[in-house]
Structure 1
């Protein structure tokens, strides 16, 4: 075994010296290096952000929160000062969150669609192969292969159960503080495309990819107890809010004005929709609050009328990126 390794090492050394062709498991190599057999490269999995180095080759990202893989600088100090021309990285997003692949410092990535970019995104199931161009500034990397989501992002929830605001939530409701309309994981009708995910603990859509989104919401409203006041009608706001439930966070809204007698004895629908640019990391809620006129005195309810099933729904559609 040692003799074979020694002979192989000597053969490779002589071949390199004479600029000959090298063959492994073949005596007739057809290229500078011909391997008649399998080839193995380094395989790593990371659930967090990382800077790729000389020991990396195939990198899989399996994180549940967004992360970044940073490419190495084009010029390295060891083993000898110089660029990393031809170095290749294969990157796959096997996780459930979005991965950013970023160049080092002021370097750029040639993504074949114009001037170089500082980074690109890989959604869950996305894959990329990138190669060093041998330059030390400007576009130092080339995005040779890029496979990302192949379907448009459409995500929707629909629920049938009753929601009742009482206690502190009801007080806040009557003080015009938007209250989150809850859904559950089981309410998800469709979630395709990989640009958003539903956060069940927080009752919001988590945006994974920046872009323009069309957002729609629908909910019934019913008043618990005789509304207090002299207007004889109640104004209820249905809102789409971002990154919190303050009024200042409302990005789309609509008001439904109901006669008091109708609010007490029936449930009436309100619709809301908007088209808005969202950034990766944004959270989007469907909320409801008192807006004008008389106020309910006991509680506020979301429930479908007799003979109907769905009490509320909430959907997003990605129209463009970034």
Structure 2
């Protein structure tokens, strides 16, 4: 290979002030190369510590691993300004780039960071600073995490194939977890933020039946939220149930007005045990105190027995019972909280119906007895009048 070197006069035996040209006799800089430049390339598959002879290191490890930067050199010659390029060539594992103990890589913070993590196919370029101690920022980030195409870094595949998807209209799938607004998804699809859709339905199927959570799917313009079990055996429908642990919530904060044709409650004999007759219906009914009241419509919180209400709270006039009073008479009709300083009392008005029914039966029995006595008295009066 033809080489042309232009050397200037030397001021000392060790320092030369000149411009050097390689394959050119007119260098425009301290070093001008009219051709290609090669630097050392190394590929590793395990943890590795870089040396002064490295330049580009590519890691293709099958598991998460670490590449360590060389320690600073405070003796002559120092290697300030030296450039290192590091790439994580793996498509599945992460690569940690670590400075030596005490040394730091510059970041958005004032103190810098000890390590950076490269995701699959990401790369980074670092430059040695002029700090040569174990207590400062010894490495400067020039190019940070230059990611290649999404197909390489997080492959989405064409449906029913192992071929990476490349078309906008393709049906695609992914075998890992997907996070939107989060870098730590805890489920197959994890969204940190609000979700919006403008038409159609959102199906949530399981392995046996399927269900739909829909908005305006049937009653257009009413703004109704519909929960439909539309597949599987049986009559369909939906249910809510209480977990076996934690604090259950039996209602919403706002008063709801629901128009329905009818409600059926599970009452199959086969579901029940310890069946006994209701007694003392009249005495229970006579002890109850029906009241009229105004009730808050927007309960915000209940802490230490102190109730607070939302900004949209309004008073609704209604009639009923006071749960705490009713609990002393008919506890079967009242949900008594475990901690009333944090939970509210609720009334199952349907459970009052059997007591009312028993009271009517007892009252009717008394009426029939009185009617029989009246008939006897009437007959006696008739006999006396006939005499």
TM-score, normalised on structure 2? Answer: 0.39
Structure with a larger share of its residues in helix? 2
Q: Decide which structure has the larger Cα Rg and report it.
A: 2
TM-score, normalised on structure 1? Answer: 0.46
- The structure whose RCO (Cα within 8 Å, separation 6+) is larger is 1
Structure with a larger share of its residues in strand? 1
